[in-house]
A and B are shown apart, each in its own frame.
Chain A
Amino acid sequence: MVEKYDPQMKSYQLPTWLDELKQKLNHMDDAEVVEHRMGTSASVHLLYINTLIDQERLNEAIIQPLHRCDGNSLSSCITNAKVSEVTSIEEAQQKIMQGYILLNDAVNDQWVGVQLETTLGRAVESSQTETVIYGAKDSFSEQIDKNITMLRRRLPITTLKSESFTVGSLSKTKVVLLYIDGLTNPKFISYARKKIESVDFDQFLDSSQLAAFMEDHHHSVFPQFLQTDRPDACAYALGEGKLTLLVSNSPFALLAPITFFHLFQSPEDYFLRWTVASLLRLIRYGSFIVSLALIPFYVALTTFHYQMVPLPILFVLLESRSKLPFTPFVEGLSMIVTLEIIKEASLRMPTKTSQTLGVIGGIVIGQAAVEAGFASKVLIVLMGISAIAFFLVPNYQMTKSMVLVQVFLLILASFLGLPGIVIGLIGTLAHLHGLTSLGQPYFAPISPFYGKGWLDLFIRGPLIWMRTRPDYLKPLRKWRQEMKK
């Protein structure tokens, strides 16, 4: 039953709110406006979207208490759910769409909201993108509150602050900025706040989209925010003095400010013995160079610098290239593109199909290309090494970016040989040097130089030596240890 306008009522807007809200919910089949009696006398209107709310809880927490209630106000009747007052029609609209039940008590001139959002979502699962052998197995999910819970459990301190923002004119995505008060540099916090507030877009489906808006350098191939779905990595980063951004409906948190070298660090580095972790880290850097430069190096050597090849290897190279119709550049480029096609196809396919694809790609295309005389055996071997080396870099976004750098180096190598590769690498280095993440230098602690930072750079130094937080993050509390009394 719809309330009529009554000039005797103090606030004539309330029935209008109801009308307006009904108007807004028009043509929404899952929108419900129902009337219930509160106790024996007054009637209460309930407005909600039934696909967003938990029906059982609605009955339990609202309808039954309302029938039993003989009190005067809604908040005194509903005792087993959190009741919040609604003060504007915009807020009312927003709350309905967030899974709230709006209750209107016309007699008491009261609008309240009760959050009964359905707990639809994944359980806590282990990370698929950053797997570790040792260490915590849980990972973030699409529910932002759960994600915050995971972080709060790891950092049970009152100084872990969280600030909420809403971005996206359509998606109304909730973004939570987390930091440790008194540790994280306030400049980063205000910078991040400013960046989030300036974001203007309609939809945010993943945190990477938010990162694209917040990055200082939009056109760079290198990610300036680290995406992770591991709560332990986030907690560690927060403890170092970084910021964490959680985005609703995205299982990936954003960490900033980061440096280029963070892209080579895996959470497991800190769980293994420092010597082992250091070796693995060095292998990762080595494989980064190999994956970028191996194919361009092959092209440079076979096109310009045959003198540099040791004679036994030249013997093999000459034989494998003697009957090929393509130049080393065309051969290299076509194989890189083919490999990317295989990689992309195997990602998009269901698991079982992708296995078949791997076999077809690896054996049939590789072997057949050699036998047909389209590619040299040596190149296929190098492609294999290079492709595997790509996957050693823990950051997936970085892995994707590296292909572009590889092609860039390949083109330079085909024109200028080894000097071309060096020019390309110096250019890449200069570009990396010019990048910033949340306004902080991307190539620290090498440039600008911070000596202590080197303890956790190419190697992962012993934790007992890493007593201070990284200087380049300019933390307010430098020492990781607390003085024991």
Chain B
Amino acid sequence: MVPYKHYSLLAIACLMWMAGCSSPYVENNMIEEIAPVVFWSVDKGTEGKFKISTLVPPLIQEKKRLLTKEVDLLKQGGKEFNLIYNRELKQGQLRMVLINEELAKKGGIEKLVNTILVDPDISMRVYLLIVRGNFDEYIKHQLTKQENQDYFLYRMLKHYEDYNQGEMSIVNIHQFMKKLYSPLEAPILPVFRSDKNNFNYIGTAFFQEDKEVMVIQDVDDEIFQLLDNDHFLKVLAIPKLSVSLGRVRSNVRMKLSRDYSSLSLHVGLNGRIEEYQGEKEIQSEEQLEHVIQEIEIYLEEQTSDLLKRMQRWKVDPLEVGTHSLKPFSKEITEKQWLKYWGNIKINVDYDIKIQPLNNVERLM
């Protein structure tokens, strides 16, 4: 029995124990004997197999090699890599899993992702990416050109995740799985295009269950960032209207009718005009109003179009379905909701507030 006066010590000891808690059986991971893997690239192989690739050694200044194996199981790949490399490959520092778009379209990536998710050695903060094209070819080509290409790729993803810059949809493995398992939510993943020389972000992929059904790009992707992902865009470029809005912040309000027949979407945008190459004289307040109105109409049309495509593909990445949830009422099922979602009449309204420009001729 610990006297009550000494409870504080007991509490400190318990906190310390919890902070350092782990299995008493520690695994020897001497860092000079291991090769921590930073990414896994998973592609469709022959005869229903997976083609797994990784780069070793990922960090040390030694000659790098791209290892590729065709396997039935993901873990089998990890094991077989060890047999062909002198250091022990470890997945504890896995930071990116790149899944080929063909595989994602086929469906069934849930099992792949789950394998990584349930591995206690692997952190939950693993970025998931969809790759259009051949990533292996790109990495192989870059081996001689740029050192630590994989590491810099990770840094790029981390940068856009940390600061919510609204440039990219960055998704962690646990975020993907949470949306996958939650009713009324559709998972999303960023899509990158890869060829021999380039690896660049192109847009966001929407999933129905674990199957990629549509990819949005360019203005659509920017609208998606404003509507749901970051609610912020550093630059919203609208080439059609020859205008670029900067530092755009959005305030989105959705109102779903009680019978799920209509949705009113109100988007308040706050930003400034950073570039204008059109015909109008935006120094004049009247003409500026016209430009703003044009932008509003353009965004409303684009957004309506985007939402219609989502309805057509029966995906709801904006989580509109969650607005159907009310206290003390029965939760609508995902199947029911998607049925409603396909037929909802959507009314989009944009309200843009432009920060005051200098040298504007005011209307008297």
Residues on A lying within 8 angstroms of B by beta carbon are: 302-307, 309, 311-312, 314-315, 317-319, 321-322, 324, 327-328, 416-419, 421-422, 425-426, 429-430, 433, 443, 446-449
A-B contacts, 18 listed (Cβ < 8 Å):
A304-B29, A307-B121, A311-B154, A317-B31, A318-B32, A318-B57, A318-B59, A322-B32, A328-B30, A419-B20, A419-B26, A422-B19, A429-B9, A429-B13, A430-B13, A433-B9, A447-B6, A449-B5
Closest chain-A Cβ to B97's Cβ sits at a distance in Å of: 15
Do B22 and A418 touch across chains, with their CB atoms under 8 A apart? yes
Which residue of A304, A317, A327, A419 contacts B27 across the interface (Cβ within 8 Å)?
A304
A324 and B32 in contact (CB under 8 A), knowing A307-B92, A318-B60, A429-B13? yes
Query: A303 — nearest CB in chain B belongs to which residue?
Result: B30
CA separation between A366 and B29, bound complex, in Å?
A: 26
> Which residues of chain B are within 8 angstroms of A416 by Cβ–Cβ distance?
24, 26
> Which residues of chain B are within 8 angstroms of A302 by Cβ–Cβ distance?
30-31
CA separation between A430 and B9, bound complex, in Å?
A: 8
CA separation between A304 and B26, bound complex, in Å?
A: 7
Query: A417 — nearest CB in chain B belongs to which residue?
Result: B26
CA separation between A46 and B309, bound complex, in Å?
A: 120
Query: B95 — nearest CB in chain A belongs to which residue?
Result: A311
Do A319 and B93 touch across chains, with their CB atoms under 8 A apart? no
A448 and B5 in contact (CB under 8 A), knowing A319-B61, A321-B31? yes
CA separation between A303 and B90, bound complex, in Å?
A: 13
CB-based closest 4 A-B pairs: A422-B20, A307-B92, A448-B5, A447-B9
Do B8 and A449 touch across chains, with their CB atoms under 8 A apart? yes
Do B34 and A306 touch across chains, with their CB atoms under 8 A apart? yes
Do B24 and A419 touch across chains, with their CB atoms under 8 A apart? yes
CA separation between A416 and B5, bound complex, in Å?
A: 31
Kindly name the residue among A302, A322, A425, A447 whose own CB sees the greatest number of chain B CB atoms within 10 A. Answer: A447
Which residue of B5, B30, B38, B121 contacts A311 across the interface (Cβ within 8 Å)?
B38
Do A426 and B123 touch across chains, with their CB atoms under 8 A apart? no
> Which residues of chain A are within 8 angstroms of B7 by Cβ–Cβ distance?
449
B156: CB under 8 A from chain A? no
CA separation between A448 and B9, bound complex, in Å?
A: 8
> Which residues of chain A are within 8 angstroms of B13 by Cβ–Cβ distance?
426, 429-430
B17: CB under 8 A from chain A? yes
A419 and B22 in contact (CB under 8 A), knowing A447-B9, A448-B5, A449-B8? yes
Do A318 and B31 touch across chains, with their CB atoms under 8 A apart? yes
Residues on B lying within 8 angstroms of A by beta carbon are: 3, 5-9, 12-13, 16-17, 19-22, 24, 26-32, 34, 36, 38, 57, 59-62, 90, 92-93, 95, 121, 123, 148, 151, 154-155
Closest chain-B Cβ to A465's Cβ sits at a distance in Å of: 22
Kindly name the residue among A311, A317, A446 whose own CB sees the greatest number of chain B CB atoms within 10 A. Answer: A311
Which residue of A303, A315, A324, A419 contacts B59 across the interface (Cβ within 8 Å)?
A315
Closest chain-A Cβ to B160's Cβ sits at a distance in Å of: 16
Do A306 and B36 touch across chains, with their CB atoms under 8 A apart? yes
CA separation between A416 and B20, bound complex, in Å?
A: 11
> Which residues of chain B are within 8 angstroms of A418 by Cβ–Cβ distance?
20, 22
A322 and B60 in contact (CB under 8 A), knowing A307-B92, A422-B20? yes
Do B8 and A446 touch across chains, with their CB atoms under 8 A apart? yes
Beyond the given A318-B31, A429-B12, please list 14 additional residue pairs across the A-B interface where CB-CB is below 8 A: A302-B30, A306-B36, A311-B93, A311-B95, A319-B61, A416-B26, A418-B22, A419-B26, A422-B16, A429-B13, A429-B16, A430-B13, A443-B9, A448-B6
CA separation between A306 and B59, bound complex, in Å?
A: 13
Do B151 and A315 touch across chains, with their CB atoms under 8 A apart? yes
CA separation between A429 and B34, bound complex, in Å?
A: 35
CA separation between A360 and B134, bound complex, in Å?
A: 56
Which residue of B3, B17, B29 contacts A422 across the interface (Cβ within 8 Å)?
B17
> Which residues of chain B are within 8 angstroms of A426 by Cβ–Cβ distance?
13, 16-17
A327 and B30 in contact (CB under 8 A), knowing A311-B38, A311-B151? yes
> Which residues of chain A are within 8 angstroms of B92 by Cβ–Cβ distance?
306-307
Closest chain-A Cβ to B154's Cβ sits at a distance in Å of: 6
CA separation between A306 and B94, bound complex, in Å?
A: 11
> Which residues of chain A are within 8 angstroms of B62 by Cβ–Cβ distance?
322
Query: A300 — nearest CB in chain B belongs to which residue?
Result: B26
> Which residues of chain A are within 8 angstroms of B26 by Cβ–Cβ distance?
304, 416-417, 419
Do B93 and A306 touch across chains, with their CB atoms under 8 A apart? yes
> Which residues of chain A are within 8 angstroms of B6 by Cβ–Cβ distance?
433, 447-448
> Which residues of chain A are within 8 angstroms of B61 by Cβ–Cβ distance?
319, 322
Do A319 and B59 touch across chains, with their CB atoms under 8 A apart? yes
> Which residues of chain A are within 8 angstroms of B154 by Cβ–Cβ distance?
311
Do B8 and A447 touch across chains, with their CB atoms under 8 A apart? yes
A446 and B9 in contact (CB under 8 A), knowing A306-B92, A311-B154? yes
Query: A427 — nearest CB in chain B belongs to which residue?
Result: B13
> Which residues of chain A are within 8 angstroms of B155 by Cβ–Cβ distance?
312
Query: B91 — nearest CB in chain A belongs to which residue?
Result: A307
CA separation between A429 and B7, bound complex, in Å?
A: 13
CA separation between A322 and B31, bound complex, in Å?
A: 8
Query: A449 — nearest CB in chain B belongs to which residue?
Result: B8
Kindly name the residue among B16, B19, B90 whose own CB sees the greatest number of chain A CB atoms within 10 A. Answer: B16
Closest chain-B Cβ to A59's Cβ sits at a distance in Å of: 65
Closest chain-A Cβ to B88's Cβ sits at a distance in Å of: 11
CA separation between A311 and B59, bound complex, in Å?
A: 9
Query: B6 — nearest CB in chain A belongs to which residue?
Result: A447
CA separation between A433 and B62, bound complex, in Å?
A: 51
CA separation between A305 and B8, bound complex, in Å?
A: 30
> Which residues of chain A are within 8 angstroms of B93 by Cβ–Cβ distance?
306-307, 309, 311, 314
> Which residues of chain A are within 8 angstroms of B5 by Cβ–Cβ distance?
447-449
